[in-house]
Amino acid sequence: MSEEVIDKISFIVVGAGKSVRFKSKKIFYMIDGKIPLLIFTLKNIIDAFGKDAELIFVHSKEDKSKIEDLLKNFKIEDVKLVEGGEERPLSVFNGLLSCSNDTVFIHDCARPFLSKKFLLSIFETYKKNKKPLTPYTKPFDTVRVNENGKVITLNRNDVMLIQTPQILKKSLYLPILKKYVEKNLYLTDDVEYLLREGFEVNFVEGEKTNIKVTDQTDINLVETIYKGWEK
């Protein structure tokens, strides 16, 4: 496959969740009281890829009009809005159906701190071997698991905390995801489906600042990272 073809990408941003743990729609959280989280996420992607990426935002039905207003107010154009499903894999599936390109980034909107250096770096890595790719970080804490009442301590050097965006081929992933969602088998990230089907995945080091905003306790960290973010 030529570099010319592989450079054509679609970037799916998934933001259709209910934000139950956050207590309000986190995609609308105003970072520093100035910019909605979803807008900040999209701006960082646009900063890295500009017009070279087809940008797809997957949303819940009730949020569409508010998202349209925010995109207009912050002068963000050419974002394809796609209605999501009740579960994340269903939202991803809908996003994939809307993709015009075979090379796809799949990202959780709740991870707003995407640096240009990081995005371009993982894309270059992907282009070299064309394997499905996911970033990860290592835990600092001691990690233990409870297996049927028996607590086991893991070697934290063997533990990977998986991040997004994950990069893969629509032509590879869509039929696999379709098979699983038709059986109502919903997994928490996309490369897990590929791993279960025996495909190799390239695990690359992510960034510590690429945090996932989950609940209200994350707000202070969000604000701290934002204050040091290159504006």
CA dihedral sign, ordered 212, 217, 219, 225: negative
| Mean per-residue pLDDT of the chain | 94
3-class SS letters over 193-206: HHHHCCCCCEEEEC
Residue 101 token pair: 């390109």
- Residue 101 has, within 13 A of its CA and on its CB side, a CA count of 20
CA angle 37, 78, 167 (to 5 degrees): 70
pLDDT of residue 231: 55
Residue type, 57: F
pLDDT of residue 85: 94
- Do 129 and 155 touch, CB atoms closer than 8 A? no
pLDDT tens digits for range 134-179: 999 999 999 999 999 999 999 999 999 999 999 999 999 999 999 9
How far apart (Å, rounded) are the C-alpha atoms in residues 105 and 119?
10
52: domain CATH number is: 3.90.550.10
- Do 34 and 78 touch, CB atoms closer than 8 A? no
Q: Model-level pTM?
A: 0.94
Q: What is the three-class DSSP state of 34? A: coil
pLDDT tens digits for range 27-86: 999 999 999 999 999 999 999 999 999 999 999 999 999 999 999 999 999 999 999 999
Residue 1 confidence class, pLDDT cut points 50, 70, 90: very low
pLDDT tens digits for range 177-192: 999 999 999 999 999 9
**225: pLDDT strictly greater than 60:** yes
- Do 203 and 136 touch, CB atoms closer than 8 A? yes
Residues in CB range of 169: below 8 A, 6 or more apart: 102, 103, 104, 130, 132
pLDDT of residue 4: 41
Instruction: Give the total number of structural domains in the chain.
Output: 1
Q: Give the range of the structural domain holding residue 177, as residue numbers without chain letter.
A: 3-227
- Do 41 and 112 touch, CB atoms closer than 8 A? yes
- Do 17 and 108 touch, CB atoms closer than 8 A? no
